[in-house]
Amino acid sequence: MIFRYFKVLHRDMVYLKFILEAYEGMNVMSTVDNVAGIIRIAIMEGFEADMDGLLAELGQQVAMEAVEWADAPSF
């Protein structure tokens, strides 16, 4: 799995969760810091290009700032 972290507005978390859940099997979104608005998107291997396109499109609809996360798992 590939992990990407983003800072998003709280009001956009649910919207993103619903959209990303529609792409079942490609990714899993979870909240890692609710106070700071940090989400983690775990991307299944082989879907990186598809998810890059989806995240780019979502980034035009919702403010998503890519961030580094200190507790990121190292696989």
CATH of the domain at 11: 3.30.70
Instruction: Return the pLDDT at 70.
Output: 78
pTM (2 d.p.): 0.85
Confidence check: pLDDT of 58 > 60: yes
For residue 74, being part of any structural domain is answered with no
Average pLDDT over residues 44-65: 94
Q: Say how far apart CA 51 and CA 37 lie, in whole Å.
A: 20
Provide the domain limits for residue 41: 2-67
Mean pLDDT of the chain: 91
For residue 53, being part of any structural domain is answered with yes
Q: Would you say 41 and 20 are in contact if contact means Cβ atoms under 8 Å apart?
A: yes
Confidence check: pLDDT of 73 > 60: no
